[in-house]
Amino acid sequence: MHIVVSDPEILWGTPVFSGTRIPTETLFDYIEAGDTLDSFLRDFPSISRNTAIETLRNAHRAFVDTELAVAA
């Protein structure tokens, strides 16, 4: 099962946490603003800690892969 989905019928295709209408960007906005993961999870209890952490890991992997491709 995917933890993030993009469907044109849900928020015009904005990536959201699977089974919700919560944009994944919201998690990154919290982190960027200096809020904690716990704060995000309190405000969005339908998102599990594991889902949020896996989303952050996937973003990290994508960033590293992009950086490696650029460096090559």
Query: How does pLDDT run across 57-70, given as a tens digit for each residue?
Result: 999 998 887 766 76
Domains along the sequence of the chain with CATH: 4-71 (1.10.10.10)
Report the alpha-carbon distance of residue 61 to residue 66 in Å, rounded.
Answer: 8
The one-letter code for the residue type at 64 is: V
Report the alpha-carbon distance of residue 58 to residue 5 in Å, rounded.
Answer: 13
pTM, 2 dp: 0.84
Report the alpha-carbon distance of residue 68 to residue 28 in Å, rounded.
Answer: 22
pLDDT digits (tens, 9 = 90+) for 14-23: 999 999 999 9
Query: Helix 24-32 and helix 49-71: axis angle, to 10°?
Result: 80
